[in-house]
Amino acid sequence: MLLNARFRTSPRRGAVLLMTLLVTGMLALASLSFSSSVNSQVGLARNEVSTLHAELAAESALEYARRQLLLDPLWQGTDTFGIQIADGIFFTVTRDDQESSNVVPSEAVLTLEGRKEGFSLQRLQAAIAVDPGDPLRDKALSVLGGGMRGANIEIEGDALVVDAPGYLFDYRKGRRWVAANFSPYGVQMSRLRINGKLWKCSNKIYGPPERESRLNRSLHAPGWDFSGWEKPGPGRRIFKHPKELKNLILQETAVVILKPGAQLLLANVQLRGGLIILLDSPSASSSTPRNIIIMRGRCKIGTKGSKNKIGLLAPGCRIKAKNGRHQIFGMNLWHSVQHLRRTHCDGLTIVLNNALDLRDSRFRYDQTVAEDPPSGIEFFGALPAVKINDVNEVY
């Protein structure tokens, strides 16, 4: 009897076992539910991250398109593979309009797609106003005659060399514009240090490809008319037929009238108001210079931050610097350059023909000069610009 009682199951123990089974089952169900919820939340978070990646890729596409249109108003977008910005994250840009122009302002209509591979897609449509402007206005140095040769040149900004024929035009709406006489020298430079890009018109490669771009558009040399400077007035001093200017410190703008074929020597001068060399015709230009300007000693022409923005305006003159050190601030417009040494040009420099034998010199871009050029200088257009008019999400 005692043995049988020992192994008899108690009703209380059965109830505890049943309760244990119920609690265990509920915990298992709760665990499964929690696991499913966690997996669902992880999936939602993953989708949200993928969507965010796609949105950021689409925004990157918009900024990329804006920059490309600023460089090339005719840009038609990326290829079908797009551009990868991170592992599995891409964007594509497709141009939808047919109104592109590299001469007059237009509006680019673009479809921008950002995608996270295998997960999400973000599509935008943007309308961007594109003003091609004048490509000569955002370059530190522009050489329009086909050739730039020299050594040890530093350019702080972009440079442009028209190294192929057919890109320069001299007529627009009845105005007279100057076309340079093209000579196919190309770019022959050693130790050219440029912190921007070298723009050229041909397919030739002159240096590291990442530092070069091709300009696929027409160009116009700036027009000029200095006839208003030939009469006496405030802020100027007129010099008639001088052979040299030496040891002169002048606050006003120096206006020089030279006979055809004459040379002008500048030696140790400080022409703080800039220097203008007058021509017989407002837009006369030829393959040979009308006059030659030679700088010696230490010459300083123009003033940094000056309101009149005049550096050395001599569209009929070949510029030479045989020795010494020279500084020129403001807008420079020259017929050609030959044998230029140790010269620092700070502002905007345009050479209508060739720039040969440049050495140990620096050209620096100053946007304030480009935005407000001196009186008597007329560019083909404003500074290149783009503006985002509208952006919408496309479903």
Which residues, including other chains, have CB under 8 Å from residue 73's CB and lie 6 or more apart? 100, 101, 102, 106, 130, 132, 217
Closest CA to 270 of 305, 242, 295: 295
Output DSSP code: residue 17. H
Check the CA dihedral 96-102-107-110 and report its sign: positive
- pLDDT tens for each residue of 169-180: 764 444 444 556
Is the CB of residue 383 less than 8 Å from the CB of residue 370?
A: yes
- pLDDT tens for each residue of 219-274: 888 888 888 898 899 999 999 999 999 999 999 999 999 999 999 999 999 999 99
Instruction: Give the integer Cα–Cα distance in Å for 333 and 302.
Output: 13
Instruction: Give the integer Cα–Cα distance in Å for 276 and 332.
Output: 10
Residue type (1 letter), 307: K
Which pLDDT does position 11 carry in this prediction?
Answer: 58
Which pLDDT does position 259 carry in this prediction?
Answer: 92
- Hey, where are the domains in the chain? 1-133+383-395, 135-378
Output DSSP code: residue 207. S
Instruction: Give the integer Cα–Cα distance in Å for 26 and 22.
Output: 6
Residue type (1 letter), 96: D
Provide the CA 164 distance to its chain's centre, in angstroms. 21
Which pLDDT does position 175 carry in this prediction?
Answer: 47
Burial 161-190 (b: 16+ CB within 10 A, else e): bbbbeebbeeeeeeebbbbbbbbebbbebe
Which pLDDT does position 189 carry in this prediction?
Answer: 87
Instruction: Give the integer Cα–Cα distance in Å for 157 and 202.
Output: 20
Is the CB of residue 359 less than 8 Å from the CB of residue 192?
A: no
Distances 106 to 28, 127, 132, 182, 374 between C-alpha atoms, Å:
67, 10, 9, 30, 28
Distances 179 to 77, 142, 171, 172, 354 between C-alpha atoms, Å:
32, 13, 9, 12, 13
Output DSSP code: residue 8. P
Instruction: Give the integer Cα–Cα distance in Å for 166 and 178.
Output: 14
Instruction: Give the integer Cα–Cα distance in Å for 145 and 98.
Output: 33
Segments in the chain below pLDDT 70: 1-50, 119, 170-182, 184, 280-286
Which pLDDT does position 210 carry in this prediction?
Answer: 84
